[in-house]
């Protein structure tokens, strides 16, 4: 079974950049219907993947649209001045996706379970975004020039509310009529090094829980009736990924030794997958792993994302002025 198919089976290809790298690595050539642009900045790089047609959709397993990925290992550092610089890069790229008029209204939705730290990114971002819709209606004298009407919601998860997240968001959209919805969610990565270091933004919406194989109604323009921007950061990696990479590394080491070379010849991919299946059988293959410092990571990343969103939606407002309004 091909590597891409394995990851799709586990449901861990939340990141378009990972799907693109796996597919291009297996084919050895550029993918039809898919364009890639890579830019560097002081602390990392930005990769923009654009799926242009149905061929690209079929190959990549996701909708036609633009997927912008910031790869910045320094995000893990507890360095607020550095995070501010990263947030400025994020804001510039987010602005290129939203294309809003100065008075357009925005609904920010923080997806996830606030009771489970690796899944609490969305709700924590909502706590720090600049919410202004109520000021436009009830206290216009408190507004600063350049403040868009922005509302925010953390709808929780089905297991807590008993209501599908998509149903809650759709009801709020129908009532408040925003021009744009921005959803923030924790993602699953296919590479352990991406946890807490990668930000993905896409103009195609999102399917909550898809990275863990939990298919829910998609939050996208077709369902909500307005454009949807999805922002996510990997906070977990599938245990199967770690197991597979570890076994692969062991097998590669075995082939270099004359004594163990025969073991290498017998260690075919099917055998490796069977071993992994046996080890993870108790969890039906759904075991995910997160770092022990996830509390601090979620705290820092939520502040960074909120700052980037605030800068993109209210570019005329200084950081000092924003601090007066953010709870």
In the chain, what are the domains? 3-242+283-325 (3.40.50.1450)
Max avg pLDDT among 14-18, 118-122, 189-193, 216-220: 118-122
| Phi, psi angle pair for 264, to nearest 5° | -60, -45
**89-126 confidence digits (pLDDT tens):** 999 999 999 888 888 999 999 999 999 999 999 999 99
**248-280 confidence digits (pLDDT tens):** 777 777 777 666 656 656 666 666 667 777 777
Measured CA distances, 266 to 80, 249, 251, 272 (Å): 51, 15, 10, 10
Q: Would you say 184 and 156 are in contact if contact means Cβ atoms under 8 Å apart?
A: no
When pLDDT is averaged across residues 293-317 and rounded to a whole number, the result is 93
Q: 231, exposed or middle or buried, with CB in 10 Å at 0-12, 13-18, 19+?
A: buried
Q: Find the DSSP H helices in the chain.
A: 3-10, 16-27, 54-60, 80-98, 121-126, 133-138, 158-161, 165-176, 221-224, 239-254, 261-266, 269-279, 294-313, 319-325
The CA distance from 62 to 15, in Å, is 10
Rg for the chain, CA atoms, rounded: 21
- Point out the least confidently predicted range of 12-26, 64-78, 166-180, 214-228: 12-26
């Amino acid at each position: 079974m091909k590597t891409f198919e394995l990851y799709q089976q586990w449901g861990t290809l939340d990141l378009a950049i990972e799907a693109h790298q796996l597919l291009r690595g297996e084919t050895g050539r550029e993918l039809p219907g898919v364009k890639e642009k890579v830019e560097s900045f002081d602390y990392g790089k930005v990769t923009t993947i654009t799926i242009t047609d149905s061929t690209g959709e079929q190959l990549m397993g996701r909708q036609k649209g633009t997927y912008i990925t910031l790869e910045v290992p320094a995000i893990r550092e507890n360095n607020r001045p550095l995070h501010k610089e990263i947030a400025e890069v994020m804001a510039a790229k987010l602005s290129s996706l939203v294309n809003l008029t100065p008075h357009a209204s925005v609904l920010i939705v923080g997806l996830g379970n606030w009771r489970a730290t690796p899944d609490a990114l969305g709700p924590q971002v909502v706590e720090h975004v600049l919410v202004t819709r109520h000021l436009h209606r009830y206290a216009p004298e408190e507004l600063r020039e350049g403040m868009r009407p922005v509302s925010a919601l953390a709808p929780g998860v089905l297991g807590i509310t008993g209501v599908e997240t998509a149903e809650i968001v759709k009801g709020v959209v129908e009532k408040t009529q925003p021009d744009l919805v921005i959803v923030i969610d924790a993602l699953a990565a296919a590479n352990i090094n991406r946890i807490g270091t990668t930000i993905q933004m896409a103009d195609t919406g999102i399917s909550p829980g898809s990275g863990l194989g939990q298919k829910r109604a998609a939050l996208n323009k077709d369902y909500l009736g307005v454009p949807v921007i999805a922002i996510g950061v990997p906070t977990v990696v599938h245990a199967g990924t770690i197991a597979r990479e570890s076994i692969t590394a062991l097998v590669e080491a075995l082939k270099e030794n004359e004594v163990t070379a025969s073991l290498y010849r017998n260690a075919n991919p099917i055998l490796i997958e069977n071993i992994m299946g046996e080890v993870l059988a108790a969890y039906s293959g759904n075991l995910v792993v997160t770092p022990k410092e996830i509390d601090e990571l979620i705290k820092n990343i939520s502040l960074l994302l909120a700052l980037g969103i605030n800068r993109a939606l209210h570019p005329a407002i200084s950081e000092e002025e924003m601090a007066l309004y953010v709870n």
